[in-house]
């Protein structure tokens, strides 16, 4: 069971535990928060607690030994169903090509609609979890409205999304909202040390790289391609900022693009090619590269402004970053970081990656615009 030993900030589990204690379990929930915060794990823990027939302790606790808990732990409870986004695959000249965008399939939605009205087979409540519903097309979201409006009393539908702002208001209004918050930074570092045996300094670095999101932190710790990719990208950016000028920016853009392609196609330092849905794959993507540049620029702004070291993402390279920040004042680096974040958003929405990369690297070069 994925949620065993998972680190949750206390507010969301407490809210769901309150629903169980009062006997007021809603027919539909929207669990939301940033990618990697543990939305699917919280849905799993909630379903386990609801269906537990033994003695429970603490928010969303479960006995672990009753038939329902045992089957949840073994991932074989037929009344707990999860559908998550997948990438469409097509064949072109004998080669499999995966879609750049993952989404829940319409067949999965139809399966849920057909099954949700059937009585649970063995559990007290049947659970259907649809992950990342913000990736679904509007017509598919509309097909959920009837289920959310008139569900059977012994079924629970759980939707997860990055933000309710990404969904139709008619969908959001039919769900009980559960917002997930980041755990404390020190708590996350200690959890990584206990769960993965990672020493404190490395755990703190992973936490910063993961934006202190537990799921992302675990994924980074387990991804052999992430760290060589991150080190390579950071070295390119530092060299570009130290050298300055248009030629350095163009050379840096070329090198970054080649490094990202190598990570995806061959892997780095003996690792397998990066999984497109893993942390290295996301970092090597167009939007991931531009976002990393933006975070680098924010580090330069914070160092120039004399912010505490804890505010720096790439804390292991503070000396290099301090040297690279010399060309501009803090306000200008911050302005450039904001522009780079805008570029990463545009690339994620299918703007031209190479044009965005060229601009972002010129921002990193420290030359006047």
Q: Which pLDDT value is given to residue 369?
A: 55
Q: At what angle do helices 246-265 and 226-243 cross, to 10 degrees?
A: 170
pTM, two decimals, is 0.86
Q: pLDDT for 323-336, tens place per residue?
A: 999 889 999 999 99
Percent of the chain with pLDDT over 70: 95
List, for residues 198-242, the tens digit of each pLDDT value.
Answer: 988 889 999 999 999 999 999 999 999 999 999 999 999 999 999
Residue 90, pLDDT score: 47
Strand residues in the chain grouped as ranges (E):
28-32, 80-83, 86-92, 95-103, 126-130, 155-161, 176-179
The CATH class for the domain spanning 11-179 reads alpha beta
Domain ranges across the chain: 11-179, 183-222, 224-364
Element (H, E) at 71: helix 67-73
Measured between alpha carbons, how far is 178 from 162 in angstroms, rounded to an integer? 12
């Amino acid at each position: 069971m994925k949620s065993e030993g998972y680190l949750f900030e206390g507010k969301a589990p407490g809210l769901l535990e309150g629903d169980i204690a009062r006997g007021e379990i809603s027919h539909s929930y929207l669990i939301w928060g940033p990618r990697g915060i543990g939305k699917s794990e919280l849905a799993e823990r909630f379903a386990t607690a609801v269906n537990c027939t033994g003695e429970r302790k603490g928010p969303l606790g479960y006995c672990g030994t009753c038939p329902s808990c045992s089957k949840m732990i073994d991932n074989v409870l037929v009344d707990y169903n999860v559908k998550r986004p997948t990438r469409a695959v097509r064949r072109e000249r004998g080669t499999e090509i995966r879609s750049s965008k993952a989404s829940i399939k319409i067949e999965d939605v139809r399966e849920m609609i057909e099954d949700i009205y059937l009585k649970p087979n063995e559990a007290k409540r049947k659970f259907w979890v649809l992950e990342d519903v913000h990736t679904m097309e509007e017509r598919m979201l509309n097909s959920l409205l009837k289920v959310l409006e008139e569900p059977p009393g012994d079924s629970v539908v759980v939707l997860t999304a990055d933000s309710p702002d990404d969904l139709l208001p008619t969908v959001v209004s039919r769900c009980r909202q559960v917002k997930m918050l980041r755990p404390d930074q020190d708590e996350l570092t200690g959890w990584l040390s206990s769960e993965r045996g990672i020493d404190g300094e490395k755990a703190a670095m992973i936490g910063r790289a993961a934006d202190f999101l537990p799921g992302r932190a675990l994924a980074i710790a387990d991804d052999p391609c992430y760290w060589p990719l991150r080190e390579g990208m950071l070295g390119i950016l530092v060299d570009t900022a130290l050298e300055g000028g248009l030629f350095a920016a163009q050379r840096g853009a070329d090198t970054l693009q080649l490094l990202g392609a190598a990570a995806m196609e061959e892997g780095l330092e003996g690792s397998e090619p990066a999984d497109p849905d893993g942390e290295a794959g996301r970092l090597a993507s167009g939007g991931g590269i531009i976002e990393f540049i933006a975070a680098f620029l924010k580090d330069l702004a914070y160092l120039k402004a004399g912010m505490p070291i804890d505010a720096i993402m790439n804390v292991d390279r503070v000396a290099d970053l301090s040297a690279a920040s010399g060309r501009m004042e803090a306000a200008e680096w911050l302005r450039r970081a904001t522009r780079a974040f805008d570029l990463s958003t545009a690339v994620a929405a299918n703007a031209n990656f190479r044009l965005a990369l060229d601009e972002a690297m010129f921002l990193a070069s420290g030359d006047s615009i």
